[in-house]
Amino acid sequence: MTEENAANSNKKIAIITGGSRGLGRNAVLSLAKRGVRSIFTYHQNQAEADKVVALATEAGAPAIALQLDVAKASTFADFAQRVSAALGKMGTTRFDYLVNNAGTSSSATVASGSEAELDEQFAVHFKGPFLLTQALLSLINDGGRIINISSGLARVTMPGRAIYGPMKAAVEALTRQMAQELGPRRIAVNMVAPGAIATDFSGGIVRDNPEVNKMVASHTAFGRVGQPDDVGPVIAALLSDDFGWVNAQRIEVSGGMQI
């Protein structure tokens, strides 16, 4: 990165949901390496969030962690106020990038999925990003960016992903709607769709279950499952000035899963 880009990056601020672990954590730290400061959220794991704050600060881009449950839309107005206060601490009133990343898994099939699980997954994966983005719209700078985290499972099927996959497919349609509506403000809205990545997600099944790990690797052109380091830097790069003309696109980051 040139000195000029580094200086520009230093002025940028990202909001990332679910930054305490996994892909969100990696995105916070990848952005920090580029000089972008983050206000990120955690749900229950404040200890992990504190570690991410320390690592981002060490990398030269002090971060702020805020608690948020993305399934509780009634708290979003208050969250927007807490974001404003955090921005004030950073010496500004607006931010540049929003990454709707926080998520939880579901292993429901069409036969087994309950109404409660449908409602919970809808709240976390669709209603949350929709209403959180709405609540933060007035705080995003014109010319800013939004990335919604989708999944390879919006494109392909896997047993037990009957609710989760379709929720991510809905997020992809929402992303295009957002891009259309926010075009006049020059806010680009894209989606990153990771393949199966070795994180805590879904009880750490991709990382810790040898059979699942092997099965995913065998269906992936690059012959292995993904790691957080395969995804976070892509998010950071997509938010850079070089990708300013990319809008309403789905970038799958899966090493070529089930192609």
Catalytically annotated residues? 164
Task: Name which position in 35, 165, 194, 255 contacts ligand NAP (CB under 6 A).
Answer: 194
Using CB under 6 A, which of the segments 57-65, 82-90, 189-197, 232-240 binds ligand NAP? 189-197
Q: Position 88: which residue type?
A: G
- Cβ distance to ligand NAP smaller for residue 64 or 102: 102
Cβ proximity to ligand NAP, 8 vs 113, nearer residue = 113
Distance CA 107, CA 100 (A): 21
Phi, psi of 129 (to 5 degrees): -55, -40
Q: Is 65 helix (H, G, I), strand (E, B) or coil?
A: strand
18 lies in the site for ligand NAP, by CB under 6 A: yes
Residue nearest to ligand NAP (CB): 22
CA–CA gap between residue 151 and residue 165 (Å, rounded): 7
**Which residue stretch of 30-38, 81-89, 95-103, 236-244 sits at the interface with ligand NAP (rule: CB under 6 A)?**
95-103
Q: Is 93 exposed, middle or buried (0-12, 13-18, 19+ CB in 10 A)?
A: exposed
- Cβ–Cβ under 8 Å, residues 248 and 176: yes
Interface residues toward ligand NAP, by CB under 6 A: 17-18, 20-24, 41-45, 48, 68-71, 101-104, 124, 149, 151, 194, 196-197, 199-201, 206
